[in-house]
Structure 1
Amino acid sequence: MQLENSVALVTGAASGIGETTAKTLAAKGARIALVDRDEEQIERVMQDILAAGGQCVAIAADVTSEEDTARFVARTVETFGQLNIAVSCAGIIRDGTMLNLDRETGKVSRKLSLDKWNSVIDVNLTGTFLTLRDAAEAMVNGGWDGLLVPISSVNKIGQVGQLNYSATKAALERFPKIIVGEFLLRKIRHIRCVGIAPGYTETKILTEMNQDALQAILKDVHLGRLIKPQEIADMIAYCAQNEALNATTIEITGGLCFPGNIAK
């Protein structure tokens, strides 16, 4: 797929990987639909893209709402006449162990709330499902070549304190195999699905954390540093252009290893 004059929809576009991906695709000639709940920040990203000579539209929306996903996909097609790439970057983290014990009694003092569980499932998993489903529908009905990009995580393997988050990312890691298998069954040959599983990435939540804790994390990264959002965005752009990449999830971790130097 050529990026020049293609149309890309990016959720979670107000910051981090989503913002960088949107700007990277725009710089390569794609027309961009920015989607995020943070209207002020996607307006900022839109102005940055427009100032750089790109074409884009900003759409404030909630990916957990079926009405909103239908609306922002329709708005993208109405604005640009087609849809070729859908990158689902919208995601949240609400950490907590399933059970917390009272130190004195050994009894359960607190447990992971259903609200914490549901909020992460709703945004990360259901939001991605709705976004990619509705984008794929538009691509099929329009007859446009397409690429669906769910964002998983290296923590799909399971991270203590992230039962909700890791569960969503494990599920998203399987999306490409299942979706492409269904497309093959239905003879949908013009739409691919490639997942991206980033490792520890240079975002605000990590750069502002306790530096001793950060260095402890980086000891298990062969590269010795955080992954840059630009490195992830560049891979997404490459996936769009390399049609042999399909039905798989690509890890971008810098060589994350477990203790004992066992590469994941």
Structure 2
Amino acid sequence: MAHDHAPPSDLGPAFRWAVGLNVTYVAVEAAAASLTGSLALFADAAHNLTDVAGLLIAWFAASLANRSGTMSFTWGLGRATILAAMLNATAILIGVGIVIWEAASRLTTPVEIPGLTVMIVALLGIGVNAGSALLFMKSRKGDLNAKGAFLHMATDAGVSGAVVLAAGGIMLTNWQWLDSATAIAVSVVIAFSAWGLMRESLELFLDGVPSGVDRHAVAAWIGAQNGVTGVHDLHIWALSTTRTALAAHVVRTGADQDDFIDFVADELEHEFGISHVTLQIESYPCERAQQCLVE
């Protein structure tokens, strides 16, 4: 028996606001970078541009995830959100590589930067990116797709903050190399965050157990229920960045099997966040019956 539940909350308004704010800011920042020659400002603008693309991908994936299953895609299109998170991480890592390459070449031949102009634009970026991140703060804990959007915005706020510090340093010391050094330092930090997102999304894409679910705890919980003598062929995987599925064979005696399935499905969602549960009840043990309980 299978149990399914409501789709995740609509993130459309959050995506609309975030995309609108960031498109406007990218235009302003790119113009300022062109006028001032600031690589740190250009790096921030380039990263914001990849974020706009990432937000659009995540938005489209979130809309696909809310669609019902079809004859061809019986699970629906929820896994598009996993693919979106992976594409977002890839885009960030590519952008970081380009910025580090350019910044390294400029360390030996610094370009004179008007610190005040750069600082003003970067301060505006802190407000835009921090505000955009807040739009996804609540949803990021239970949705890897929303977490990717939040990570983009939060790291961009950090980038803008670093640019402000670099601009202040240039104004005080006239050390023009601070611009390139800041671009490199910030890019390295972003790369670590993006790699974590890439690893987590890749695990879900390959049907790994979601990081928030303890497979052994789930097996032990099912095995401890009334009448259960064995659990085997237990599989837990992600249907999307917000929905987790489980399938298992359960060896159990008793006449109330339908009530048992309903109870287990409800409790697995409540205790472990597993929203789609399929159980095959067996009345006699088999050679694999204790597999999941002793691993």
TM-score range, shorter chain: under 0.3
TM-score by length of 1: 0.28
* More strand, by proportion: 1
TM-score by length of 2: 0.26
Which of the pair has more CA radius of gyration?
2
- If asked which structure has higher relative contact order (CA below 8 Å, sep 6+), I would say 2
